[in-house]
Amino acid sequence: MDNATVTNNPDQKTINRNVLIKRFLPLIIIALTVLIIFVLMVSRSTPPKKPQVEKAWAVSTEVASRDLINPQLELLGSVESTYTSQLSAAITADVKHVPIREGAYVTKGQLLVELDDIEAQLDLQQKKANIEELAASITSENNRYKSDLAALKNEQALLEIAERSVGRQQKLEKSRLTSQEQIDTALNKRELQSLSVNNRQLSIADHTSRLQQLNAKLLRAQTEVSNAELNLSRTHVVAPYDGQIIQVNVSPGDRVRLGEHIVELYDSEQIEVRAQIPNRSVSLIRKALLNTKPDNKETLKASVTIYGQNIPFTLDRLSGKANSGAGGVDGLFKSLSENSPLIPGNSVKLIVDLPIIENTITTPLSALYGTNRIYTIKDERLVSMLVSVEGSYITKAGKQRLILKTNIAAGKSIVTTQLPNAINGLKVSVRGAPTNG
């Protein structure tokens, strides 16, 4: 019994040892692997470190200069003419001839529409006949007046004879040498002759009033003749000024009535552009207008480019009223070109030269950061400066530049490149030589 126990103990130990080995062998392998890796990492050679260099951002610059530049105001305007006329028919007549067409340029006095003048001629002849009739009536009245003056003397002489006859009959009545019938006959003749004298005197007295009435009728008839002659002349509708035809509303054979529109035209020498000036610029422009010299050397100049042609304008006046809800006042710009290609209804972009602002510099749009900041360079690093934007203008090359008020010295370099991360102290490198503004 004891021997058996002794014999089995070694085997049990072996089994226990094998179990322990199987249990801890993975851990030993892992530990050895970590140890090997650590030894390899410690024993490897370390590469030399490169010193870190700060990046310098490439920028372009421009030399600041103080020049006398007119700020410019860009406005959207519409073309119109001071004189736009709708010519109407002054008489009722048939259209005989229409020698012009829409869009045609005409000169003052040129025939536009010819109306048939037959009716006007007949009316004129009738009015002239009235004058001749009245002239004859006036002559007749003057002759009548002369006749009445001569007849009055005869009538008065007959009245004196009748008076003497009545006196004789009255004397004979006292002597009873006449009859009552003869006396009554003499009295009757006297009264009739007296009435005849009175009528003749009344006719003579009324001569002046009758003549005045005839002269008034003659004057009225002469006026009617003048009106008929005017109507006859109105059968030829002519251009009231040099201009361009906008619309023709009639054709030969049409019947036009009094007041009917037949032709519309505008004065091509009175072209204007109406543009709304924003409220922020109204006071400056109004002040400039008040200071305008009589010789027009200091007027506000403007220009319009259309159809490849640059047309000069000048601000003539400001509108006398403000449109409801508008953000400014309309300015009326007068064309200085004799042969302007502009026509009423055109929408144009107007560039207005405002009065010069002193102590300013100019920069491209790319130089401005935000609304009031630019950058200069000192020791290869950005330095910000505050500015005030006073306006802008368009260069001959068609590029827009800003006019800034700032304390920056002339000759100082200004950064003209837009950097997304621009801050004070950012390192930069200048690309190329500084340009001149």
Instruction: Dump the DSSP string for 209-221.
Output: HHHHHHHHHHHHH
Where helices occur in 93-236 by DSSP H, the ranges are 118-174, 180-205, 207-233
pLDDT value of residue 50: 62
245 with 84: CB under 8 angstroms?
no
Write down the CATH number for the domain with range 85-111+238-266.
2.40.50.100
3-state secondary structure of 300: coil
DSSP for 67-105, written as a single string: -----EEEEEEEEEES-EEEEE-SS-EEEEE----TT-E
DSSP 53: -
* pLDDT for res 46: 62
* CA nearest neighbour of 382 among 339, 421, 351: 421
Choose among 59, 147, 45, 61: nearest CA to 420. 59
Q: How much is the average pLDDT of 150-166?
A: 85
Q: What is the CATH number of domain 73-80+270-353?
A: 2.40.30.170
Phi, psi of 154 (to 5 degrees): -65, -40
pLDDT of 6 > 70? The answer is no
Residues 224-249 have a mean pLDDT of 94
Q: How confident is the model at residue 132 (pLDDT cuts 50, 70, 90)?
A: very high
DSSP one-letter code for 360: -
Q: How far apart (Å, rounded) are the C-alpha atoms in residues 252 and 110?
A: 18
Q: What's the one-letter identity of residue 52?
A: Q
pLDDT number for residue 155: 85
Q: State the average pLDDT over residues 344-357.
A: 87
| Average pLDDT of every residue of the chain | 85
Q: Model-level pTM?
A: 0.61
**Mean pLDDT of all residues in 304-315:** 87
From the list 81, 83, 88, the residue with the least C-alpha distance to 263 is 88
